[in-house]
Amino acid sequence: MQYAMFIYESAADLAKRNDPQAADSYWGSWSSYIKALSEAGVMVGGNGLQPYQTGTTLRLQNGKRHVQDGPYADSKEQLGGYFILEVADLDAALDWAARCPAAPNGAIELRPVLPPPSGL
Amino acid sequence: MNEDARRPLPLDVAEAADRAARVSYGRLLAYLSARARDVAKAEDALADAFQAALKSWPVAGVPDNPEAWLLTAARRNLDHAARHGKVRAAAAPALAWLQDEIAARGGDGFPDERLKLLFVCAHPAIDPAARAPLMLQTVLGLDAARIASAFLVSPAAMGQRLVRAKTKIRDAGLRFAVPESDELADRLEFVLDAIYAAYGSGWDAIAGADPRQRGLTEEAIWLARLVVGLLPNEPEARGLLALMLYCESRKAARRDADGRFVPLAEQDIGLWSRDMIGEAEAALRAAAGMGRLGRYQLEAAIQSAHAQRGLIGRTPWHGIATLYEGLVRLSPTVGALVGRAAAVAEAEDAAKGLALLADIPAAAVADYQPYWALSGHLLLKLDRSAEAADSFRRAAGLSEDPAVRAFLLEKIFS
């Protein structure tokens, strides 16, 4: 079964990406986690994301285009990346979520991937 | 909620209810379940009795014997359920008897049926994944949300698992009885396995192995003490108690002042708990005197050997390797195989340990963190540093404990 793992990182963790003191251990944690996922045959795909300030949002409202910079959501945790995992069940997905480097300070959300509608 | 309910309870009432819940919950529930032969209904009846107590005690005062009061109230609730056909018909005579029994004893003490409840929770007909959670909920009164978190299961799924198990107990008519002596040892193994499942694992002989404990160590040790108390002549129960106490005795030594991970070989033995080691030694000695060796006694003996460093200043690795040899023969789990490789590497040489690791099937260790931690150490000893870094990275990626992860990553960068 496939699960999407959404990784909400704390502001303090995200700041480590560019902190010369902390960057090595930050990226080391992530590369080892990704290695463990891949070599256990669990990883289907995924990406880390640039900070939310780099995002751009589009809405079509009443035929009008609205493009905005951001979002600039004011929240302690930010979506820092996502993985798609192939595992037996939710228990197995939770077991991997507990090992995620963002888990001690952030939050990990798991959602089953929606299968394609039948007939397609 | 009305004003009354929100007002804090008088201290003595809250305390009495709390004490009754902590000390007696499991005893009351075991007693009621054994009579009703229905754990879920007994739980409901007892929960309602506690609710009634919180309403009645502040007004009428705390009864002289709170347990008897709760038992009578719960029994009344069960009667009510029985009249409305909510308890299986077969239980009706037992309920009637229960009423007589309470009357006869005048509520003065009632038999301890928790052992029977433990055997029902760990019955072979119950889903193995539900056994430990069921024990924690029924015997200790732990709430389902906490149990779900400890076992890394969604609260909804854990709720379903517990309900299914209780339905099975009722519908299959599982006997609330201590098994006959010819099958006692086999059935006890299921009970002990479930208690150890609540503990997680305590192995820390491999530097940087993440034990991934569940935060239920006190509860697991409490349950093991209960079984030892109720079945004093079963050596494996004492073995399990000793095993967990040895592992727990080193808890304070596993972190330095800055919260960094400290591997076993570098731990300050002054931080080991002498009380726990003493209790563990006594339990293991008593078990050995019974002349029936088993898996938990062997595992406890291995931990006892590690505790020797506190006395003789070194770790008897040859002895530990021999004990692992016995354990692998008795119970060849991945944990035992990796533990043996670690012990052989220390007692003889790293290459031999590595060869033992290579014999373990790859599929069994794809997500088994201690294997990769040990592999890293042995490769490093053999000056194969690139491969060692690879193993340490994999071990770090499989770690849940951030302090262990940091310890392993430092091995790569240093």
Interface of A with B in 86-115 (CB under 8 A): 90-91, 94-95, 98-99, 101, 103-104
Classify residue A44: in a domain, yes or no: yes
Residues contacting A115, CB < 8 A, separation 6+: none
B281 CB burial (10 A radius; 0-12, 13-18, 19+): middle
Set of chain B residues whose Cβ sits within 8 Å of the Cβ of A31:
393
Going along B216-306, which residue ranges are E strands?
A: none
Please, which pLDDT band fits residue B101 given cuts at 50, 70 and 90? Answer: low
B398 with A98: Cβ contact below 8 A: no
Set of chain A residues whose Cβ sits within 8 Å of the Cβ of B397:
32-37, 99
Q: How does strand A64-69 pair with strand A2-10?
A: unpaired
Please, which pLDDT band fits residue B2 given cuts at 50, 70 and 90? Answer: very low
Residues contacting A75, CB < 8 A, separation 6+: none
Q: State the pTM of this model.
A: 0.89
Question: CB of B405 within 8 Å of any CB in chain A?
Answer: yes
Option in A28, A90, A103 nearest B154 (CB): A90
> How far, CA to CA in Å, does B238 sit from each of B76, B262, B293?
39, 28, 11
Amino acid at position B391, single letter: S
Question: CB of B363 within 8 Å of any CB in chain A?
Answer: no
Give me the mean pLDDT over the B50-76 stretch. 89
Classify residue A118: in a domain, yes or no: no
pLDDT at B5: 47
Option in A35, A94, A95 nearest B397 (CB): A35
How many domains, chain A? 1
B393 with A91: Cβ contact below 8 A: no
Question: CB of A23 within 8 Å of any CB in chain B?
Answer: no
Q: Is the pLDDT of residue B85 over 90?
A: no
Question: CB of A29 within 8 Å of any CB in chain B?
Answer: yes
Tallying the residues shown for chain B, one arrives at 414
Set of chain B residues whose Cβ sits within 8 Å of the Cβ of A1:
none
Q: Where exactly are the structural domains of chain B?
A: 3-109
Which two structure tokens, joined as six digits, stand for B18? 């709390």
A104 with B367: Cβ contact below 8 A: no
Q: ipTM of the predicted structure?
A: 0.90
The vertex-A86 CA angle with A84 and A92, nearest 5°, equals 105
Compare A42 and B62 and report the one with higher pLDDT: A42
Distance CA B142, CA B100 (A): 30
Set of chain B residues whose Cβ sits within 8 Å of the Cβ of A25:
406, 409
Classify residue A119: in a domain, yes or no: no
Taking every pair of C-alpha atoms in chain A, what is the biggest distance, in angstroms? 53
* Mean pLDDT of chain B, nearest integer: 90
> Range with the lowest mean pLDDT among A50-59, B81-90, B202-211?
B81-90
CATH of the domain at A12: 3.30.70.1060
A35 with B153: Cβ contact below 8 A: no
Which two structure tokens, joined as six digits, stand for B167? 């339905």
Could you report the per-residue pLDDT of B3-23, keeping only the tens digit for each? 444 556 677 777 777 777 777
Residue B209's nearest CA partner among B263, B258, B255 is: B263
Could you report the per-residue pLDDT of A27-62, keeping only the tens digit for each? 999 999 999 999 999 999 999 999 888 999 999 999
Set of chain A residues whose Cβ sits within 8 Å of the Cβ of B398:
36, 99
Option in B152, B412, B413 nearest A98 (CB): B152
The Cβ of residue A58 has, within 10 Å, a number of other Cβ atoms equal to: 8
Domain extent for A58: 2-112
Classify residue A120: in a domain, yes or no: no
Please, which pLDDT band fits residue B310 given cuts at 50, 70 and 90? Answer: confident
> Range with the lowest mean pLDDT among A8-12, A97-101, A116-120, B279-283?
A116-120
The vertex-B276 CA angle with B230 and B311, nearest 5°, equals 130
Distance CA B285, CA B258 (A): 37
